[in-house]
Amino acid sequence: MVSFFVCLVLLIVGYFTYGKVVDNTFGPDDRETPAVRINDGVDYVVLPQWKLFLIQLLNIAGLGPIFGAMQGALWGPVVFLWITFGTIFAGGVHDYFSGMMSEREDGASVAEITGDYLGNTMKNIMRVFSVVLLIMVGTVFAVGPAGLIVTLFKNAGVGGVFATTLFWLIIILIYYFIATFISIDAVIGKIYPLFGVCLLVMAVGVAFGVVTNPNYVIPEIWDHLYNMHPSGTPIWSFMFITVACGAISGFHSTQSPLMARCMKSEKQGHFVFYGAMVCEGVIALIWAAAGCSIYEVTGGLNTGLADILADGQSAAIYDVCVKTMGGAGVVLAMLGVIACPITSGDTAFRSARLTLADWLKIDQNSWSNRLKLCIPVLGVGAILGIGNALGAIDYTVIWRYFSWTNQTLAMIVLWAASMYLFRNKKNYWITAVPATFMTAVSITYFCMAPECLGAFGIGAAVAYPAGIIVAILFLGLFLRATRKPAPAANK
């Protein structure tokens, strides 16, 4: 288990070292924050730092670092490397700058921020891109928990309407509508920190169960430095797309502005944004280790894990909880796994409302104005979610498109952060390097994935060079821009 513990230590050390480098590069100061200056009692509300951290963790976590890490474990312990170094050098950087840039822009949504630094064309693209992504995320985080609840009831021998996905999906969507509409401190600020604690306790319980059980041995990276995926799916770039939350996720940049509107001081950014991302990386590492160690390996391939995942992600998570914590711990674990995606789902729809409000310049102090945006946003989510529950829409297809759009959004935000640093005459390489890497990841996947250009038979021979060429092209365009005099910084 040396690999696992080394990666765990690296994540913690990374927060105190590289995370501080990122914080110092941005340069937080004592200026008045939007939460203090605007404070409208709806979206701009001052919250204590510990609540900011736990709410941010819940907003960005959801099912991502659990489902994604379990799927990533199919490739073997090599996924530990992506979770660890992705979190420190890409995910934490992405989350920090998306949050702090929003804070400097009065809590603006990610679309408005990227437009300020990448131009109006990109602003309009990002407006559409982020709203579509947020609705897909909200849908995924409604369907997933509904399936988990059904699994619990069926395992308890309960049938009827309580054992149907459609019933629980409708209940969750009704809650989403209420949470999207009301003030952020009415529900989110009060009960979400408790669910954040559940998420952390659950992760600790799984880790303890794996480490203390002699039947479970976490494999070492150096002994399994090859592709263990039973289907032979390439590591590059499928693993980097599959494991998004827990390494780097563009969805986080849509959530960070929520907390940017609630910070009392800029100096809270390191703990709230970078810290929450590192915590999510730890959670992902634990679940990836569980996936690598609990299930049977046949011929050097993770066949056992593939079999349990074939029964559905909900069934796989339930199985891990039972195997690591037994009956006593599974209640708390399943509560965390159900509550966390629900809390990410409602904030996804809330972010979609705020993105549209920024786009259409609709003030959100009025309940009628909020209602005008809540109804269409939740309406589309309901169509997608209920369509899946009735078998008309494939949930896995929605998830695959979410995966690619998610990482592409992360790439764009990192390029915007690079332009921000350039304009402010600061070290832009801390964002430009991960931006270049994520460009290669996104383009390669787009060329190879069956739901994208891979449907036309494009393989690695074309996709790999294309990813590298486009990444170099983007970096070249950025460096060319840095040779010109930097325009005045916005903030």
Per-residue pLDDT of the chain (491 residues; tens, 9 = 90+): 899 999 999 999 999 999 999 999 999 999 999 999 999 888 899 999 999 999 899 888 877 788 899 999 999 999 999 999 999 999 999 999 999 999 999 999 999 999 999 998 989 888 888 888 788 878 877 887 887 788 778 877 888 888 888 898 899 889 888 888 888 777 777 777 877 887 888 889 899 999 999 999 999 999 999 999 999 999 999 999 999 989 999 989 999 999 999 999 999 999 999 999 999 999 999 999 999 999 999 999 999 999 999 987 767 887 898 899 887 666 766 666 677 778 778 888 888 898 999 999 998 888 899 989 999 999 888 888 888 777 776 656 666 677 788 899 999 999 999 999 999 999 999 999 999 999 999 999 999 998 889 888 898 999 999 999 999 999 999 999 999 876 666 55
Asked whether 399 and 143 are in contact (CB, 8 A), the reply is no
Rounded to 5 degrees, what are φ and ψ at 242?
-65, -45
Nearest C-alpha neighbor of 70 from the set 242, 233, 250, 215 = 242
Asked whether 236 and 228 are in contact (CB, 8 A), the reply is no
Alpha-carbon gap, residue 410 to 254, rounded angstroms:
10
Q: Which pLDDT value is given to residue 284? A: 96
DSSP bridge partners of 298: 301
Give 59's contacts (C-beta < 8 A, 6+ positions apart).
255, 258, 259, 343, 344, 347
Asked whether 37 and 254 are in contact (CB, 8 A), the reply is no
Tell the residue number behind the tokens 């070290």, with chain if given. Answer: 427
Tokens of 147: 């399936």
Tokens of 325: 């914590």
Nearest C-alpha neighbor of 94 from the set 270, 253, 276, 258 = 253
Alpha-carbon gap, residue 441 to 332, rounded angstroms:
36
Torsion of CA 385, 389, 391, 396, to 10 degrees: 60
Q: Which pLDDT value is given to residue 138? A: 83
Q: What is the DSSP string of 255-322?
A: HHHHHHTS-S-GGGHIIIIIHHHHHHHHHHHHHHHHHHHHS--BTTB-HHHHHHHHT-HHHHHHHHHH
Q: How far is CA 251 from the centre of its chain?
A: 5
Total residues found in the chain within this entry: 491
Q: Which pLDDT value is given to residue 91? A: 98
Nearest C-alpha neighbor of 6 from the set 254, 332, 285, 355 = 285
Alpha-carbon gap, residue 455 to 449, rounded angstroms:
7
DSSP bridge partners of 301: 298
Asked whether 275 and 22 are in contact (CB, 8 A), the reply is no
Asked whether 352 and 360 are in contact (CB, 8 A), the reply is no
Q: How far is CA 279 from the centre of its chain?
A: 12
Q: Is 364 helix (H, G, I), strand (E, B) or coil?
A: coil
Asked whether 384 and 398 are in contact (CB, 8 A), the reply is yes
